[in-house]
Structure 1
Amino acid sequence: MQGISRVVPLPSNGFLLAGFNKGTIASGSPFLKTKLGSTNFHKSITTTFSRVYPHKVLSRKPSTAIKKIGRAIRNVTLGILSIATGTAIILATWKEDYREKFTLWCAGAFRSAVTIVSCCLCMLEYKVLHLRYASTGYDSDEYKAARNLVHLRCAYRLLRLCKLNTGVYIKGVDLTVAGQHLASLTYVVPKQYTDVLSVLQDRAPYRAMSEIEKIIKEEFDGQGSKDLFSEFDETPLAAASLAQVHRAITKDGREAAVKVQYPDVSRLFNVDVWTMQTMSDLISYFFPEFELGWIVTEFKQNLIAEFDFKAEGRNGELTKQRFAHRGESFAVPEIYHELSTKRVLTMQFIRGVKINDLNGLKKLGADPAWVRNQLLEIFAEMIFCHGIVHCDPHPGNALVAISPVTKKPQLILLDHGLYRELSDDFRKTYCALWKALILNDAKALKESAESLGVGEYTNFLPLIFTQRIPDSTSLLGEDLSPEDRAILHDQLKNVTLNDLLVFLERLPRDMLLVFRTINLLRGIHRQLGGTPMEVYSLNAEYATRGFWCETREEKQIRIQREKEKRQKERRKAAGQPENGNYEVGPIRRWYLFGGAPTLRRSLGYLHDEIWLKIRFYMTELFIKVWRWWYRITITSGDHSQNAPAFQ
């Protein structure tokens, strides 16, 4: 009989399943790696686990109930799809105008049906697992092994679903998997899902040139790529979940990168979102402890912004203006507006290497330490000072190139489709939160958490941001001490996935995208050889600067005043009467410290920066002295116990 004969727990790699026949398990996942030396063992896990059914894992006796339910769902789905396809074919041949509409309708029906069937099978597996072990309890090793297999099978089922439907499904997985860091800190999200689905972040399927050409003609009144460009490479440079990029040469000889949106993504968007909302409602109905509707709503709002490539171009230009003072070390590609529309974005083509390509950086002569420092500074200034955040800084969207002006390395930021404008109240609260985290100030941390609406989760914020617990005896940037690990284990032993979802739901929506951004930045920074302490110290510096720097509103007022002043000077030089009775004095800006607009605020920033560093180093020194004294005390106690007794 085929089945599990034993479960061998591993210290770091999850579990190892033993007792399968040859070819029934593979090493495509880090959870299942071993050195058995069998060639059959290294077959694709995707095809292998598609043959593993719940009744073969959850019980030694095959369950016909699951087979019958699955067969019924499949038959109903095939019947609906057959009727829909037949209707579409008849109408398409009857009237050509209906062809595209009904083709789109059939595609939407197929995507929805496949999604619903896949998710229902996953829910069924979890329900059966829950009921089967209800009488014996959920703490046994047998239950945990069976649950891990269900996690893995469902993860691969979702992987096949995303590869089949593509589009917003891959985008949704990309946004979800990027939250792995937060999930891993609470030890409640199954790691099988993040490991299996993470492959969708690295590769997305290309679309045929005929589909791309169709979009270009629709956007430019029948003009194709050959009409608009002197050269257009049909092989894309890169493909993502919503669009792909081609290299081209404009009619005036400029090298360009042309980003073209997929033809069916926006048209199927409402159907896909409806399907996701329906599935979240079903999950909440069958599993009342999980409320996922708010995630779909947030995902929908973010994705709508990414469909408008004109807005993406404006975001890029605004970022370029905000960081004009970093022109030598930072750049954003120029937008070619005459060749850009809502679904086609044409921009300057910049030859560079991905920011995490260490060999490429070496060939360019770029120091990885300089690169990672520039990346952290730019995003810290974005969040703490400008109150905006680029929400998709994965390695493919950050390049390092040689500046044509200075001939030195320069950081290039791409893909400005998803930005979040942070409220000034949130920005200042986030600044205060980081100061409290660096100083390990429990009172200030509690105040910041309450301002964010998560006061009851105060103790988890240091763990999420700085990987240490409140009142920790570990130095900032160090691994948790054994004592801290014991405390953490005791605090998290009763934390569930629902607790995590409630925590995320109560957070301000600004914080969710900030979470995702800092997680991606940490990954890149670590690949470039950075240490956590570099991240913490730089965030502390810019968090302090954020209290004193020029706000968005102040900058708008300053720009308007400068504009009015220039208009007044031009009218005066031309001998024209002034338009209005306003009087604008000279605009003074002090850049002594922190980019503050006045001398008083510059001095305030300087005072806070010095005081923060003094308190930080005093706190770290106190911890070092306390640990030294604790070790001396323990050592003295051991010696006294081993000393001979006097008679």
Structure 2
Amino acid sequence: MVLERAWRVGLRSWKPTNSLFRVTPRNFSITSPATAARPRWQRYLWRTSYFGLGVGVIYGLDRQFNASAIGRNLRALWACALITADYKLNFTPEKSDQIPELHERVANIMFNLFTSNGGLYIKIGQAIGANAAFLPRPMQVKFASLFDDAPQIPYSDVLSVFTSEFGRPPSGPDGMFEYFDEQAVASASIAQVHKARMWPEPGEAAGEGKWVAVKVQKPAVAKQTEWDLAAYRLVMYLFEKGFELPVYFVVDFVSDHLRRELDFELEAANAQRTAAYVAADPRLSKTVYIPRVFPALTTKRIMTAEWIDGVRLSDRAGILRLMGDLPGAAAPLRGGTRAIMEPMVELFSAQMFLWGWVHCDPHPGNVLVRPHPSAPRTPQLVLLDHGLYVQLTEEFRRDWCSVWEGLLAGEWGIVEGVTRKWGVGVPDLFASAVLMRPVRLGRGRPQREAEERGKRLEEMTNYERSVVMKAKLKGFLTDTDRMPKVLIFLLRNMRMVQGNNKTLNSPVNRIKITGFSASRALTRSTPHASLRTRLHEYYHYLVFRTVMLSLDVAFLVARTRQWLFRVLGLGRDGMGFEDEIERSVRGLAKSSFGMDVGADAFDG
């Protein structure tokens, strides 16, 4: 202690003369005479230069060796900070009139983040956009234009992936294929597809090998995945804590399924399993086709499947010409657009209610229509992209069937019982989301009450309506631990099928087909039940069939009105059945929740 005190006293009293180094009184740093003589602005300039150089080196290394994973995360965290700060500062009663502009700014920040980062961010953005109807109007508009499209990676990257996976190039004397097109025919966020021709089999001449579609995962995706999912986890956590909305509970489930999409061996297995289900169904086997995969030419990052020529459902004009609804087809296929949508709705209904094995990405780009190989005048659906599936438990599958049958047969007690079991606090809203049509459970709620509530909402300020909507959405999920996470993907699936039907002018009664499938699944799943149980099921099935007649009448009225519009030249197609349903849903959202839902929020 004495020595320490003496050292401090001596240090304060010591005055350097003309030594090589100088100890400054402020920070005791050792500096050279030349450095001490520099002006302060020069010292700051050098420090700024060193800092910029360090940042540049880190940026270059991250981009070159880490697929910009760190930069993407920093961009995500910055966007999250901007959104949080903007809402905290500007979402106030005093700034109620500026809330639409606030939503517009946030929508732009989120859209720019997803499109700039690409990769899994596009998938996450699409998952959010699938339920855009519950978001503010500016976000509905932005997410409607969030497509899974991305620039192609150069052929040198494709070559490196093939060398890593197979130890051989895609083509050439020692190549995996006899011919491989270096230009991709399609490119998405995580992979791109090339057309190739397999080597001829024994007995085939050169050039007679099968044409195949080769899906190649982009090299950067594997490096970015865990970083992206970690950022997604953090962002959802911050939003739950900052905005007090139950969103974090889905993180593990969604992250797990996004990881599965990156395993192309798993995707090939999914396709084979679905093909087996389709082949075992006498009706679907004639109308639906799953392209054959080649396991010997498939790895975790490369998948080879049969090449199929057809018209994508996203090409609306091409589909209408193919089916003879527009001029230009030399030999249109029979059945019109009904022959496309009917098997599509039946396929996804069978997946949900019978197989318990559901394709969760049926957007129009993943569905082809072609002439049936055995019946050239008959259309056949080809389902692509089998990376994202969910497996339903038997208990959930039966509950899901019961909800659908109960909704359409007016058995509100069954519907409310199942939804409460799932931790849903607002069964009416859930039922409306399932059917994509307004549903009010029970008979004791007069329409007048809804109208009066709507008037009160319209009299509120933007801030007050937002607070009410937030409170109702929080009350929607009362127990997130009990909610089956698969509902996230099932509702996405049904919304996309609904959007596909709407795009083709609503040629089929989607709700009726889906409801019949759910009811049949319930009766078929109890073959060994007691006689009393089976009689009870069949009785409810008869009641259900009777109630469904009203749907037939509504559908017939909508189709007749469409026909009259075309004949009288009053419009392209008039209001289709799905358009009528959407108009009712938008009215319910406006009157009950104050949501301004756009006409395109339900497009597939």
TM-score clears 0.5? yes
| Aligned counterparts of 1:522 and 1:428: Cα–Cα separation in 2 | 22
**Structure 1 position 345 matched with structure 2 position 303:** yes
Residue 435 of structure 1 deviates from its aligned partner by: 1.3
Aligned to 1:458: 427
- Is the 1:239–1:245 Cα contact (8 Å) retained in structure 2? yes
Measured in 2, the distance between the counterparts of 1:147 and 1:376 equals 40
Matched-pair identity in %:
25
CA distance in 2, matches of 1:322, 1:335: 15
1:234 aligns with 182
Cα 1:292/1:462, change in 2 over 3 Å: closer
Question: 2:362 and 2:348 mapped to 1: Cα distance?
Answer: 9
CA contact (8 A) 1:81 1:110 kept: no
Aligned residue in 2 for 1:193: 139
Separation in 2, partners of 1:271, 1:438: 45
Say if 2:512 and 2:548, in contact at 8 Å, map to a contact too: no
Please, which of 173, 177, 199 is the counterpart of residue 251 of structure 1?
199
SS in 2 for 1:447: helix
8 Å Cα contact 1:434-1:543 kept in structure 2: yes
Q: How high is the TM-score relative to the length of structure 1?
A: 0.66
Residue from 254, 269, 275 that aligns with 1:320: 275
Q: In the alignment, does 2:406 pair up with 1:406?
A: no
Q: Pick from 84, 103, 124: which aligns with 1:172?
A: 124
Deviation at 1:258, TM superposition (A): 0.8
Taking a change above 3 Å as real, the CA distance of residues 111 and 549 of structure 1, as seen in their structure-2 partners, is same
| Residue aligning to 2:473 | 500
Q: How does 1:94-109 map to 2 (within 5 A)?
A: 103-105=64-66, 107-109=68-70
Task: Confirm or deny: 8 A CA contact 2:407 2:415 kept in the other structure.
Answer: yes
Residues 167-176 or 190-199, more deviating? 190-199
Is residue 509 of structure 2 the alignment partner of residue 534 of structure 1? Answer: yes
Asked whether the 8 Å contact 2:186–2:193 carries over to 1, the reply is: yes
Provide Cα deviations, 1:159-180, integer angstroms capped at 9, x if missing partner. 2222221101111101111112
Give distance in 1, aligned partners of 2:528 and 2:171. 48
CA separation in 1, counterparts of 2:116 and 2:256? 24
Could you tell me which amino acid in structure 2 is paired with residue 511 of structure 1?
Answer: L
What is aligned with 2:261? 306
**Which residues of structure 1 form unaligned runs of 5+?**
1-75, 90-98, 184-188, 474-479, 552-595, 622-647
Does the CA contact (< 8 Å) of 1:316 and 1:416 recur in 2?
A: yes
Aligned to 1:271: 227
Report the residue type matching 1:545 in the other structure: R
In 1: Cα distance, 2:398 partner to 2:52 partner? 53
Could you state the TM-score of these two structures normalised by the residue count of structure 2?
0.70
Residue 525 of structure 1 pairs with residue 525 of structure 2: no
Q: Are 2:111 and 1:159 equivalent residues in the alignment?
A: yes
Letter of the 1:393 counterpart = P
Determine if contact 2:67/2:220 at 8 Å carries over to the other structure.
no
1:297 to 2:252 alignment: yes
Trace 1:333-412 onto structure 2 (pairs within 5 A). 333-364=291-322, 365-366=332-333, 367-407=336-376, 408-412=378-382
Give the distance between the partners of 2:262 and 2:384, measured in 1 at CA.
16
Shift of 1:524: 0.4
Q: Work out whether 1:545 is the aligned partner of 2:537.
A: no
Report deviation, 1:339.
1.2
8 Å Cα contact 1:235-1:246 kept in structure 2 = yes
Q: Whole-Å Cα distance in 2 between the matches of residues 388 and 300 of structure 1? A: 19
- The residue type paired with residue 157 of structure 2 is E
How big is the shift at 1:147? Answer: 1.7
| 8 A Cα contact 1:280 1:291, kept in partner | no
Structure 1 residue 345 displacement after superposition: 0.6
> Aligned runs of 1:412-451 on 2, under 5 Å?
412-451=382-421
Per mean C-alpha deviation after superposition, the further-off stretch among 272-281 and 250-259 is 272-281
Conserved in 1, the CA contact under 8 Å of 2:125 and 2:146?
Answer: yes
Residue in structure 2 matching 1:122, options 83, 93, 111: 83
Higher-Rg member (1/2)? 2
Offset of residue 535 of structure 1: 1.8
Q: Secondary structure at the match of 1:420?
A: strand
Counterpart CA distance in 2 for 1:438 and 1:375 is 21
TM-superposed CA distance for 1:208, in Å, is 2.1
| Whole-Å separation in 2 of the counterparts to 1:501 and 1:340 | 45
Distance 1:78 1:447 in 2: 66
The Cα shift of 1:496 comes to: 2.8
| Compared CA separation, residues 212 and 620, structure 1 to 2 (3 A) | closer
Contact map agreement 2:427 2:441 (CA 8 A) in 1? no
Deviations 1:7-58 (A, max 9, x none): xxxxxxxxxxxxxxxxxxxxxxxxxxxxxxxxxxxxxxxxxxxxxxxxxxxx
Unaligned runs of 5+ in 2: 1-46, 201-208, 323-331, 459-464, 554-604
Matched letter for residue 503 of structure 1: F
Q: Is the 8 A contact 2:428 2:439 kept in 1?
A: yes
The change in CA–CA distance for 1:229 and 1:277 in structure 2 (over 3 A counts) is same
The alpha-carbon distance between structure 1 residues 599 and 452, as it changes in their structure 2 partners (threshold 3 A), is: closer
Partner of 2:167: 221
Alignment partners' CA distance in 1, 2:456 and 2:49: 50
Compared with structure 1, are the counterparts of its residues 502 and 215 closer, same or farther at alpha carbon in structure 2 (3 Å cutoff)? farther
1:611 aligns with 2:543: yes
Q: Quick one: which of 494, 514, 538 aligns to 2:490?
A: 514
- Within 5 Å, which residues of 2 pair with 1:66-145? 83=54, 85-86=56-57, 103-105=64-66, 107-130=68-91, 133=92, 137=93, 143-145=95-97
Summarize deviations over 1:413-445 as a string: whole Å, max 9, x none.
Answer: 011111101011111111111111112222222
Report the RMSD for the aligned CA atoms in angstroms. 3.4
| 1:81 shift after superposition | 8.0
Q: Is the 8 A contact 1:313 1:345 kept in 2?
A: yes
Rounded to whole Å, the distance in 2 between the matches of 1:464 and 1:78 is 56
Q: In structure 1, the residue corresponding to 2:286 is in which secondary structure?
A: coil
Q: How many residue pairs end up in the alignment?
A: 468
How far did 1:544 drift?
0.9
CA distance in structure 2 between the partners assigned to 1:384 and 1:512 by the alignment: 16
| 1:374-402 deviations in Å (ceiling 9; x for gaps) | 11011011101111110000001111111
Deviations 1:267-306 (A, max 9, x none): 2111111222223333344x25134322332321111111
Aligned residues of 1:219 and 1:343 also touching (Cα < 8 A): yes
